Structure 1
Amino acid sequence: MTRYLPPFILLVLALLPLGLRDPYILNALITGGIFAIGAISLNLLLGFTGQLSLGHIAFFGIGAYASALTALGFDVGLPFGVRIVHEGAHPFFGFLAAIIVSGICGYVVGRLSFRVRGAYFVIVTICFAEVVRLVALNWIELTQGPLALTSIPFMKLGLPGVGELTLRTKIQNYYLMLGVAALAYLVVARLVHSRFGRAMRGLKENEQLAVSVGVNATKTLTVAATISAALAGAAGSLYAHYFRIIDPDVFLFTYTVTMVIMVVSGGKGTLAGPVIGGVIFGTLPVALRPYMAPEAQWIVYGAVLILILFLMPRGIAPFLDDLFKGRLKRAKTPSSVVAKPQLEGQS
């Protein structure tokens, strides 16, 4: 059942703007979708390797800054009199830079931190995110610090034989977000169903047994962290070019918590889980904003989360899967098979 959910959700989301006229709701969907991409990337670590990263927002923010600075250009001085001047490039190259730079950072963090497990790994990821936030806050010559990077150009796509398309409208950015989300989902799905994916799941279920049959734990987890960070960087790039302004607040811990909520509530370790959780908890705060005070918004947000986790402890996607399989099994069971033991008992 869960394998049919993402295509169905993708179809619904692709048709949704056709009948949607409210730009505010469309903005909520774009924002939620961007963080849903981050949740898909986090699920690769949390759901399929069992490694909880509470500093995942660092890769999201690194991607946002890398993409923005690549598009805007910069002039920064380094130690020993070295100066780097970049005049600015096409925003699409910023998108690629966000993926590459975030992936490299994910590889470095993975190589250093996957030598430890459990609470130690969680602490390393939190510290990394905080260090990156402080760098963004204090390296004013590069990042403008608390003044923020502004006037970030819109994302542009080149069309062969047609020219260049600048994505200025919300609908254009919506379909860009949807396309990147679908691509991220396919990358994770392809990876999970490969031999490498079986190694990841083996480490999650029983690391000692997986290592005993030849799985290189550190290498497997590092590669997973690299791909996860690269996907988070892609989401950060979309964020930067959509809102066109970023500051060190993009590294706030609450954004990581939001991604974790999306993964856990949707169903960690499933492909459909982050998609469902991202749609619900990505759009819920923005959708409630016109109707409720901030305090009431968070009360409803927390109540919905508690209700989902109480009624569906493994997440929404596994619950729907079990529900569908149960109904399918009952539908395939002939009534005569159920009635036969009763007839024999009566005789």
Structure 2
Amino acid sequence: MLSAAVLLPYTVSDQFIIRLAIQSGIFILLASAHNILMKVGLLSLGPVAFYGLGAYVSAILTTRYDVPFPVAFFAAGLAATAAGWVIGRLTLRLRTAYFVLVTLGFAECFRLVALNWIDMTNGPMGITAVPPPARWFVGYIPYFYFILLLVVLTLFGLYRMEHSTIGRAMQAIRQNELLAGSIGISGFRYMLLAALLASFIMGLAGSFYAHFFQFLSPEILAFDLTIAIVVMVVAGGRATLMGPVLGAIVFTVLPEVLRVVQVWRMAIFGLLLMLMMLFMPDGIWPALQRLGQRCFERVTGRRTAAVVPSSFGSPSEGFAANGSPPPVPVRVEHEVTPTDRSQTLLTVERLCVHFGGVQAVHMVDFDVKAGEILSIIGPNGAGKTTILNAITRVGPITDGKISHQDALLNGLRSYEVARCGIGRTFQNTSLFPDVSTRQNLVLAHNGLEPESLLLNLLRSNASVQAAKDAEVAADRILERTRLVPYGASLARSLPYGHQR
């Protein structure tokens, strides 16, 4: 596919097709950037603001201040990143709906600024004579290879990130943010990281746009473009790597193809979009993957290895997809480290949790020593879950102190408590439903792995070893719990007892 893209300018003589390919490249960057947000369950209605901010910063720096293009190019990305940081810091600790509304408001505010700050942006007349990236950028071919390089680098970086600690953490947050926090994954940290990366890529795309078209006006900030970007991601296949790429290409080329029908163009476009959503709700790319898998199975006569749990819920009664009995799990002996039972690990002092005038928990004291099993018993509504929520910082604390090995937990967040070694289960079954049983256990190891973006992109020894340790730990737990036959099954497909 990459080879075909590299050879495209030499196999196609029509310059319009090259121009369309360049526009597709811009939309691939925008859709891929927006998809990073969707990987953590966020929706932005302001991608055009970051895109436009990058375009205006680059255009103004090069036309008014004679800044070299490379400096202006990265300044555009950094300016968009700074805006993303401010919005993320203000909104991401609240409900995610605030992020949607603030990004929408930011896009509209920036559009009005670009339209009315005539001294800087030239208002509706736009900025003209934006210089090319270099003097030898003549014709479409240099721009084509430049955008191709940006797309390849972006997709390569996103691929490395997706198959790293960061990618697994984002997957956990998207599927179950509360559970992710209870295993040591900071939802705020990774959501903010997603916002920064998305903003940076959009800013770079905006800079390229300004220097490719060599003209910039507030029309770039139209809300229609936001809708188009969201459609590209959703229709292509959100939270996948290739889905936004395919969506960007299809929805850039399709309107041009439909120009032959003139008046009916948008009606046909809308109808095709509706049909895609009805028959391919997960997107075009996942649908193509399923189709390819079925064709492979039909041609080879083999089915993809998977485990189908039996209705009785016993591992010994399950069968693999090819009809053979599942392997019998091997019994593994685990060493138990001796503990000093006189050591106090957890201390709860005068704990109070009030909800308005209701005293759910009042003046509770207890200690938990090393190796001790302590039960909290009481009728429904007695406050048992409220105590556990307070200890793990999922719920509030009105008064009192909670300490772990003499370290105060009151001011910590749930993921920080988890990293102290305090884990929990939930009253209602809580899993990462759309990944395998084994992957659930791998995700549970995520809080112990390196979080650095650079280390994960470069695949440092520490990050690679952490991933291997997670897989080894997951396999040991599967063996210990006799769930080896269900390791490849989606967690939501397990019998209820095995889900618990």
The match for 1:111 is: 89
The match for 1:323 is: 291
1:21 and 2:13 correspond: yes
The match for 1:286 is: 256
Asked whether the equivalents of residues 173 and 242 of structure 1 are also in contact (C-alpha less than 8 Å), the reply is yes
User: Can you list the C-alpha shifts for 1:139-196, whole angstroms capped at 9, x where unaligned?
Assistant: 111111111011000112xxxxxxxx53121122111111111111112112222111
1:59 and 2:50 correspond: yes
Correspondences of 1:79-90 after superposition (within 5 Å): 87-90=65-68
For residues 236 and 215 of structure 1, the distance between their equivalents in structure 2, rounded to whole angstroms, comes to 32
The match for 1:77 is: none
User: Can you list the C-alpha shifts for 1:263-318, whole angstroms capped at 9, x where unaligned?
Assistant: 111100110001111111022223433x242x422122212222222221111111
- The residue type paired with residue 311 of structure 1 is F
- The residue type paired with residue 108 of structure 1 is V
Q: Point out 4+ residue stretches in structure 1 off by more than 4 angstroms.
A: none
Asked whether the equivalents of residues 136 and 143 of structure 1 are also in contact (C-alpha less than 8 Å), the reply is yes
Q: Which of 5, 8, 11 in structure 1 is aligned with 2:3? A: 11
The match for 1:223 is: 193
Q: Which of 311, 336, 344 in structure 1 is aligned with 2:279? A: 311
Correspondences of 1:211-290 after superposition (within 5 Å): 211-289=181-259
1:101 and 2:79 correspond: yes
- The residue type paired with residue 114 of structure 2 is A
Asked whether the equivalents of residues 154 and 244 of structure 1 are also in contact (C-alpha less than 8 Å), the reply is yes
For residues 68 and 288 of structure 1, the distance between their equivalents in structure 2, rounded to whole angstroms, comes to 33
Asked whether the equivalents of residues 28 and 287 of structure 1 are also in contact (C-alpha less than 8 Å), the reply is no
Asked whether the equivalents of residues 40 and 190 of structure 2 are also in contact (C-alpha less than 8 Å), the reply is no
Q: Which of 106, 112, 127 in structure 2 is aligned with 1:134? A: 112
Moved more, 252-261 or 167-176: 167-176
How far apart are 1:334 and its partner, in Å?
6.4
Answer 1 or 2: higher relative contact order, Cα 8 Å, separation at least 6.
1
The match for 2:348 is: none
User: Can you list the C-alpha shifts for 1:28-85, whole angstroms capped at 9, x where unaligned?
Assistant: 2211221121001000002x11111011111100111111112112xxxxxxxxxxxx
How far apart are 1:259 and its partner, in Å?
0.8
For residues 109 and 300 of structure 1, the distance between their equivalents in structure 2, rounded to whole angstroms, comes to 37
For residues 96 and 325 of structure 1, the distance between their equivalents in structure 2, rounded to whole angstroms, comes to 42
What fraction of aligned residue pairs are identical, expressed as a percent? 38
Correspondences of 1:69-80 after superposition (within 5 Å): 69-73=60-64
User: SS at 2:128's partner residue?
Assistant: coil
Alpha carbons of structure 1 residues 111 and 329: separation in structure 2 relative to 1, 3 Å: same
The match for 2:149 is: 179
1:150 and 2:128 correspond: yes
Asked whether the equivalents of residues 25 and 287 of structure 1 are also in contact (C-alpha less than 8 Å), the reply is no
For residues 255 and 68 of structure 2, the distance between their equivalents in structure 1, rounded to whole angstroms, comes to 33
For residues 268 and 139 of structure 1, the distance between their equivalents in structure 2, rounded to whole angstroms, comes to 36
User: SS at 1:166's partner residue?
Assistant: coil
For residues 29 and 288 of structure 1, the distance between their equivalents in structure 2, rounded to whole angstroms, comes to 17
Structure 2 residue runs of 5 or longer lacking an equivalent are 304-322, 324-500
For residues 121 and 262 of structure 1, the distance between their equivalents in structure 2, rounded to whole angstroms, comes to 20
Asked whether the equivalents of residues 36 and 282 of structure 1 are also in contact (C-alpha less than 8 Å), the reply is no
Asked whether the equivalents of residues 87 and 99 of structure 2 are also in contact (C-alpha less than 8 Å), the reply is no
Q: Which of 207, 210, 220 in structure 1 is aligned with 2:177? A: 207
Alpha carbons of structure 1 residues 128 and 18: separation in structure 2 relative to 1, 3 Å: same
- The residue type paired with residue 54 of structure 1 is L
Alpha carbons of structure 1 residues 49 and 233: separation in structure 2 relative to 1, 3 Å: same
- The residue type paired with residue 279 of structure 2 is L
User: Can you list the C-alpha shifts for 1:65-116, whole angstroms capped at 9, x where unaligned?
Assistant: 111112112xxxxxxxxxxxxx311122221111111111111111112122
Moved more, 165-174 or 142-151: 165-174
For residues 334 and 301 of structure 1, the distance between their equivalents in structure 2, rounded to whole angstroms, comes to 38
For residues 334 and 23 of structure 1, the distance between their equivalents in structure 2, rounded to whole angstroms, comes to 46
- The residue type paired with residue 267 of structure 1 is G
Alpha carbons of structure 1 residues 331 and 104: separation in structure 2 relative to 1, 3 Å: same
Q: Which of 59, 70, 73 in structure 2 is aligned with 1:92? A: 70
User: SS at 2:204's partner residue?
Assistant: helix
Aligned residues: 306
Asked whether the equivalents of residues 57 and 72 of structure 2 are also in contact (C-alpha less than 8 Å), the reply is yes
- The residue type paired with residue 217 of structure 2 is D
Which structure has more helix as a fraction of its residues?
A: 1
Across the aligned residues of Structure 1 and Structure 2, the Cα RMSD in angstroms comes to 2.1
Structure 1 residue runs of 5 or longer lacking an equivalent are 1-7, 74-86, 157-164, 341-347
Given the two structures, how large is their TM-score scaled by the length of structure 2?
Answer: 0.59
- The residue type paired with residue 55 of structure 1 is G
1:166 and 2:129 correspond: no
For residues 245 and 22 of structure 1, the distance between their equivalents in structure 2, rounded to whole angstroms, comes to 23
Alpha carbons of structure 1 residues 207 and 60: separation in structure 2 relative to 1, 3 Å: same
Given the two structures, how large is their TM-score scaled by the length of structure 1?
Answer: 0.83
User: SS at 1:296's partner residue?
Assistant: helix
